[in-house]
Chains A and B, each alone.
Chain A
Amino acid sequence: MKMLDTNAPATAKTVSRQMEFVTVTVAGQLLGLPINRVHDVFVVSEMTTVPLAPPEIAGLLNLRGRVVTAVSLRRRLGLEDLRDSERRMAVGLENHGEAYGLLVDEVGEVLKLDPDEMQPNPVHMDRGWVGLSQGVHQLRDKLLIVLDVDAVLAFESGREAA
C-alpha cells in the first residue's frame, strides 16, 4: 500500500509495516475493516426504521446521544437479511463527519496482517463485491476480504452516478 516505506527490507516484518483489521462475519464470510476507520463496536438495541429510505439503510440508532445511520452490510453485499438474531452487532464508522453503524452478523478478533500479502480480488468474484473489496488475504483456514470502507458507504452517490 501507498503508506508503506518501500525502502524497508521485505523480510523485516516490523509492527509498523503491518496493518490491523477488525474482522467481522457476514453470512459465514470473514471480512476485515482497517482498524483506523473503526470507532467502536456495539450491540444494536433499538433501531428506528426510516420509511422511504434506500434499502441499504436499516435504520437509525442512538449511540450515546448521537444519531447513527445503520447500514446493513448484508444488503450492501446483496445478501438476504438475517432472521432476527439475538444480538445484532454493529461497527461504528465515521465518514465525512457523519456517524454510521455497519450491521454485521458477528464481530471477531483484531488481526495484524501484512499488506504486502494481500492479493487482488479473484477475477470471477461477484461484481457487487469487487467494488467493495480492496483485496483478499489468505489466512490459515479461510479467506479474509479487506473491505473498502469508503466504497461500502458510497452507495447513494453510486446510485446517482448510475
Chain B
Amino acid sequence: MDDLLLEFLTETNEHLETVDVEMVRFEQDPNNEAILSNIFRLVHTIKGTCGFLGLPRLEALAHAAETLMGKFRDGMPVTTPAVSLILSTLDRIKEILGELERQGAEPEGSDTDLIAMLERMASQEAPAPEAAAPAPQPQTSGTVVYQVLERELRPGEVSLDELERAFQEAPGPEKASTMGTLTYQVLERPLKPGEVSLDELERAFREAPGPAPLVIEKPAAAPAKASAPPPAVSAAPAKKSAESSETQENGEGIAGKVQTIRVNVDTLEHLMTMVSELVLTRNQLLEIARRSSEDHGYKVPLQRLSQVTAELQDGVMKTRMQPIGNAWQKLPRVVRDLSNELSKKIELVMQGADTELDRQVLEVIKDPLTHMVRNSADHGIESPAERKAAGKPEKGTIRLNAYHEGGSITIEIADDGKGLNLAAIRKKAVERGVASDAEVDKMSDAQVAKFIFHPGFSTAAKVTSVSGRGVGMDVVKTNIELIGGTVDIRSEQGRGTTFTIKIPLTLAIVAALIVSSKDQRFAIPQVAVSELVRVAPSSEHSIERINGTPILRLRDRLLPIVPLSKVMGLSRDEDVDHGFVVVTQVAHQRFGILVDGVFHTEEIVVKPMSSKLKHIQLFSGNTILGDGAVVLIVDPNGLARMVGSGADSNEFQTDSGQEQAFVAADEMTSLLVFRGGGESLKAVPLSLVTRLEEIDASTIEWSSGRPVVQYRGRLMPLVSCDDELAIKRQGMQSLLVFSDGDVSMGLAVAEIVDIVEDKLDVELLAERSDLVGSAVVRGRTTEIVNVAHYLPMVLETWSRKDHKGRQEKTLLLVDSSAFFRDMLVPVLKASGYRVHTATTAQDAVRLLSNGLQVDIVITDLELSGHSGFALVASLRADPQHSATPVIGMTVKLDQQQMALARKLQIAEVVSKIDRRGLLSALAELSGSLEEAA
C-alpha cells in the first residue's frame, strides 16, 4: 500500500471519528451552524480525497451524505432517522475503509441501498433549494483561500489542491446554469471530481471556512439574493456571512485540534532515553563547573544548555500524555445509537475529559470503557415507562467522571438506573457452580456484585446487538488489571450502579513533592498532599505522643502521624520530633507523613517498580529526577494500609468525621478507642476529646485524696475511666483531656488503642451512668463512654464557683438523638442550668403547653420527623412563648437555614458539636435575660 493511501486512511478515520461526535451534537443542537459547517467540511474533504485516489464507492457514499447534510443547511428539519441514516453511511464508509486497509483496494459491492435512502431523504422535504443553487461563480480566488485554510501540511493533502483545482476548473459557467434543475443525479455514475462540481453543497462549503472567502462570497451571495424568490432562503447565506467570524473561530479550533503528527511510540521512547542521558551529561558538566573556580567563559552557555535541557525533557515527557476525552470520543455516538435502538432516553454526562493519562493506558482502557457504558445503557437504565413508574425522570443519566486521586487516575461510570439484580446474580452464581448455595447466602451484596466480573458470567441470557459483542465484564476486568488497575462496583437497588476504575499512575507523569528521610529522597504524589506543616518541639506545632503513637494537633484536629523513616525501617528511632509533616489526603483518610526535609515539587515520569519489588505496597513506582538520581515514589494508599491495624482502609479519621460525629446513628463517627482497667475496649467520640496527653505519674498531685495535675498553668482534675483502673503513682499515665471553656478534665486510661471510624450504633445501657451504651466498633464490642458522667464528678466545684450568684435558668433541650442528649445534658447541668429534655417537636410542644416554664429553648433544627424550624414557628405563634429565646443547633450551617433562623428570631444557630459555642451563646442569652429582668 502506498504512503498516500496510508495517510488517507489514518486521516479519514480521524475525520470520521470527529464527524460521529459532531453529528450527535448536531442532532441535539440542530441550529448550531458551526457544527454543521464543520461536519460539512470534513465530509467534503473525505469525498474530495476519495475522488482523487479513485475510490468511487467511498466517494459516492460521502457525496450522498453530504447532499443530505446540504439539505439540513438549507433548513430541512433535522430528524433522528436522517441523522441515523447519515451515521450508518459513516459506518459503511468505515467498513469500506477497513477493507481498504486490509486489502489495499476498495472492496467489491454496491451502496445503492444507502445512497437511494439518502437521496430519498434528501428529496423528501426539499425546501426549494434551487433558488440558492446558482450562486457560485467567482471560484478562482476562492480556490486560493481554500487552500490556505484547509491544508495542514500533510503529504496527503497536497493532492487535494489538485483535486480542488479540478473542481474549480471543470465547471464552466454553462454548468452553473444547468445546476439549478437537478443536482444529485450525478451520483449514479462513477464519479470524477469534475462532474460533481457546482452543486449547492460546493457553494455552501465554500462559504463556511475562513474570512477571505467571505469577501469573495459576498458578491456571490448577492445574485443569490436577487434571484431567490423566497426571502427565507436567501436570508440563510446572509446570516451565515454575519456569523462567519464565529464559524471561523470554531473551524479554527477544530483545525487546531487536528493539527497533529503521528509519531511512533518507539521513537518517543528513544527520544526520552536520549533526553535522560542528556540530562545526566549536563549534570556532570555542571558538577565540573562547580568544582573549578575559574570561569573559562563557558558558565553562561552552560547555564543556557541546562535550561534548554530541562525544557526539552519537559516537552518530551508531555508528548506521551493525552486527555482521557480521546477515549470517550466514541461514546456520545454509542449512547445515542443505543438510546434509539432500545427506545430509552439517555443522557451522557462527561466530566474531567481533560484529565491526562498516558497514551498507552488510554489505548488499553478505551474498549473496556465503551463496553461499560454500553452495559450501563443496556442493562442499567430502564425504559422511560419503568423510570416514570419508579418516580424517576424519564431521561436516564450515565455519568462519566475522571480525576486524579491519591496518585492514581479514577474513572467513574455511574448510571441512575435500576441497579444490579443481586438475586439473579446469586442464582446464576449457583447455577454456574461459581459458588455454593450456602456460600452465596453468606456473601454480602458487595461480594455478590463482584460476580459479574467472573469469567463466563457475562449476560448470555440476553444477547442483544448491544451486549452481544463477546466482551464480558471479565474481559473488562482483565484488561484493566493488565495495566495494574482495579475495578470496583457499587450498586443500589433502584438507584443505579457505579463502576469505579482506578488506574495506577504507572505510566503517567505526575507532579510530586520531593522529600527526604534519613538522607534518602522520596517522591510523594502532589495530588495526595494537602498541606505542609513544619514541626519542632515547643513550637506552635509539635508532635505529641500517646503511648508512643505520634499525633499532631492541627487546628484542633488530631492528625495521626506516620514517620516515614519508621515505616521504611530506615530508623529505629522512635521519637523524631523535628521535620515536616506532609498532610496527606487519600480518599477520605487524612494523616500526616513525617519527613526530615522537603525540597521542591517536580514533574516526574513514573516508572513501574521492578517485578521483584512490586510487592512493597509502600511504593507505587520510581522515577529519575532531573539530576539523574533514582527516587522511589511513595504510595500514600499503600502507606495508609501499612500503618493501619488491618487491611481495612478506615483507620484514619474521616475529613468530615468531626462534622458528622453526632448526626445520626448510622453515619460514620470517629472514635478514640482505649482500654480502661478491664479487658473490654472503650471508646469516646474523637470530637469530644480536646487533647491527648501522656504525663509522668510523679507529677500527679493528690489534693484531699483527689488527683490533680498542673496542666497549662492550671490545676486539672483527673478521674479514672473506670473503677478497676487506678491512676498510676509512677511511670507514664495516658490521659484524654476534655475541656469546656477554661476548665479541663483528664480522663485516665490504661492505653490508647486506636482511632477508628465506624458506624456508631449504640445499644443504650440504662443501668450504668458512666457508659452511654455499647456498640460494635470494628467488629468488637466496645463500651461507649459517657463523658458527661465524669464532668460533673470533677467539675462540680468549678461550676458552682463559676455560676454562683447567677440565677439558674431553665432550658428545654429538644433533640431526637438519645446519644447526643445524654452527652449534652450533664454538660449543661454542670454549667448551672436546669435542663428539661424532649425527644421530638411534639414532645416539646406538649411539655410547654402543660405549663413548663423555660427561659431558653435549645433545639436541633433537623429533628427527625419534624423540622426544628416548624417547632420554633409554632412557638412563635403561641403568645406565651413568642419571645422565648431559641438557640438552634445544626450539623451544617447554610445560608438558607440562617435566613430562616433570622426570620423566626432564633437568637443563635450553633454547630451541633460546638459545645463551647453553645455554652457561650447560652451565657450571653441568660445575661441579657437578667438585664431585662
Contact = CB atoms under 8 A, between A and B. Distances in A.
Contacts of B629: 46, 48, 62
Contact of B630 (A48, A51, A57, A96): A48
A1 to B, nearest CB: 28
Contacts of B619: 50
Interface of B: 272-277, 279-280, 520, 568-570, 607, 610-613, 615-616, 618-619, 622-624, 628-632
A67 B630 contact: yes
Contact of B568 (A51, A60, A61, A98): A51
Contacts of A98: 610-611
Contact of B624 (A47, A54, A62): A62
B520 A49 contact: yes
B611 A96 contact: yes
A96 B610 CA distance: 11
A124 to B, nearest CB: 31
Contacts of A46: 628-630
A64 B616 contact: no
A64 B632 CA distance: 17
15 contacts: A46-B630, A50-B613, A53-B613, A53-B616, A54-B612, A54-B613, A62-B628, A62-B629, A62-B630, A65-B272, A66-B273, A66-B276, A69-B612, A69-B613, A100-B610
A65 B520 contact: no
A123 interface: no
B569 A67 contact: no
Chain A interface: which size bin? 20 to 34
B276 A65 contact: yes
A64 B276 contact: yes
Contacts of A161: none
Interface of A: 46-54, 57, 59-62, 64-67, 69, 71, 96, 98, 100, 155-156
A149 to B, nearest CB: 15
Nearest to A156: B612
A50 B616 contact: yes
B616 A62 contact: no
Q: Which 6 A-B pairs have the closest CB atoms?
A: A65-B276, A51-B568, A69-B610, A48-B630, A65-B273, A60-B630
A57 B613 contact: yes
A149 B607 CA distance: 24
A137 to B, nearest CB: 29
Q: Which of B273, B275, B277, B611 has the most CB of A within 10 A?
A: B611
A155 B616 CA distance: 16
B280 A64 contact: yes
B632 A50 contact: yes
Contacts of A54: 612-613
A52 B569 contact: yes
A99 to B, nearest CB: 8
Contacts of A49: 520
A62 B283 CA distance: 13
A65 B630 contact: no
A3 to B, nearest CB: 27
Contacts of B520: 48-49, 51
Contacts of B611: 96, 98, 156
A143 to B, nearest CB: 30
Contacts of A59: 630
- For B276, B610, B613, B624, the residue with the greatest tally of chain A CB atoms inside 10 Å of its CB is B610
B618 A51 contact: yes
A66 B520 CA distance: 20
B277 to A, nearest CB: 5
Contacts of A96: 611
Contacts of B273: 64-66
Given A54-B612, A100-B610, 19 more contacts: A48-B520, A48-B631, A50-B616, A51-B568, A52-B568, A57-B610, A57-B613, A60-B622, A64-B276, A64-B280, A65-B274, A65-B275, A65-B276, A65-B277, A69-B612, A71-B612, A96-B611, A98-B610, A156-B611
A61 B276 contact: no
Contacts of B612: 53-54, 57, 69, 71, 155-156
A57 B274 CA distance: 27
Nearest to B521: A48
A67 B607 contact: yes
A64 B277 contact: yes
A136 to B, nearest CB: 28
Contacts of A47: 630
Nearest to B619: A50
B280 A65 contact: yes
Nearest to A153: B612
Nearest to A59: B630
B142 to A, nearest CB: 52
A67 B622 contact: yes
B286 to A, nearest CB: 15
Contacts of B277: 64-65
Contacts of B607: 67
Contact of A62 (B274, B280, B568, B618): B280
Contacts of B275: 65
A48 B277 CA distance: 18
A95 B99 CA distance: 39
A48 to B, nearest CB: 4
Contacts of A52: 568-569, 616, 618
A50 B615 CA distance: 12
Nearest to A47: B630
Nearest to A66: B273
A67 B628 CA distance: 10
A108 B612 CA distance: 28
A150 B862 CA distance: 68
Contacts of B618: 51-52
Nearest to B612: A156
A156 B274 CA distance: 32
A51 B570 contact: yes
A48 B628 contact: no
A156 B609 CA distance: 14
B643 to A, nearest CB: 13
Kindly name the residue among A52, A54, A71, A98 whose own CB sees the greatest number of chain B CB atoms within 10 A. Answer: A52
Nearest to B607: A67
* Most chain B CB neighbours (cut-off 10 Å) among A46, A50, A59, A155: A50
B117 to A, nearest CB: 52
B136 to A, nearest CB: 57
Contacts of A155: 612
Nearest to A69: B610
Nearest to A100: B610
B639 to A, nearest CB: 12
Nearest to B272: A65
B619 to A, nearest CB: 7
Contacts of B622: 48, 60, 67
A87 B776 CA distance: 60
A47 B629 CA distance: 8
A133 to B, nearest CB: 21
A85 B615 CA distance: 31
Nearest to A71: B612
B572 to A, nearest CB: 13
Contacts of A67: 607, 610, 622-624, 630
A52 B272 CA distance: 30
A51 B566 CA distance: 10
A64 B279 CA distance: 10
A145 B274 CA distance: 37
A54 B276 CA distance: 28
Contacts of A71: 612
A51 B631 contact: no
Contacts of B272: 65
A109 B383 CA distance: 76
A54 B616 CA distance: 10
A100 B629 CA distance: 17
A81 to B, nearest CB: 17
Contact of A48 (B568, B570, B610, B632): B632
A66 B631 CA distance: 12
Nearest to B614: A156
Contacts of B616: 50-53
A46 B613 CA distance: 19
